């Protein structure tokens, strides 16, 4: 749905409000539904089996609470933005690199 620049609902008169919300006056989409075909059922079955959330990598993950000096954290966030990776992934890559050198 394309959002058009419009004034807030509470500032609209009755005609403007009816125009802005007319899409919600349509009958339910479920009334126009159909049974799933074989490929759609299989896709749905696999998605339901897989579960919600991020896929498990390795042995899974655990949330921890650590303290990092603010300047170092700012530097890490800047590197993460440049490399287009999140804070957790950046820290995990750094730990792996350090552990390889130590091992």
DSSP conformation class of 15: H
How much is the pTM?
0.47
Residue 98, classed as helix, strand or coil, is helix
Q: What is the pLDDT of residues 31-78, one digit of tens each?
A: 778 899 999 999 999 888 877 777 777 888 888 999 999 999 999 999
CA distances from 20 to 4, 9, 23, 101, 103 (A): 10, 8, 8, 61, 63
Q: At what angle do helices 70-83 and 87-102 cross, to 10 degrees?
A: 100
């Amino acid at each position: 749905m394309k959002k058009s620049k419009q004034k807030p609902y509470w500032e609209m008169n009755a005609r403007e409000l009816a125009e802005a919300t007319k899409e919600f006056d349509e009958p339910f989409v479920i009334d126009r539904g159909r049974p799933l075909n074989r490929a759609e059922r299989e896709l749905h079955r696999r998605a339901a089996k897989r579960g919600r959330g991020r896929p498990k990598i390795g042995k899974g993950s655990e949330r921890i609470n650590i303290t990092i000096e603010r300047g170092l954290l700012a530097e890490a966030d800047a590197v993460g933005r440049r490399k287009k990776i999140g804070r957790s992934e950046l820290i995990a890559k750094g730990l792996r690199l350090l552990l390889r050198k130590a091992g």
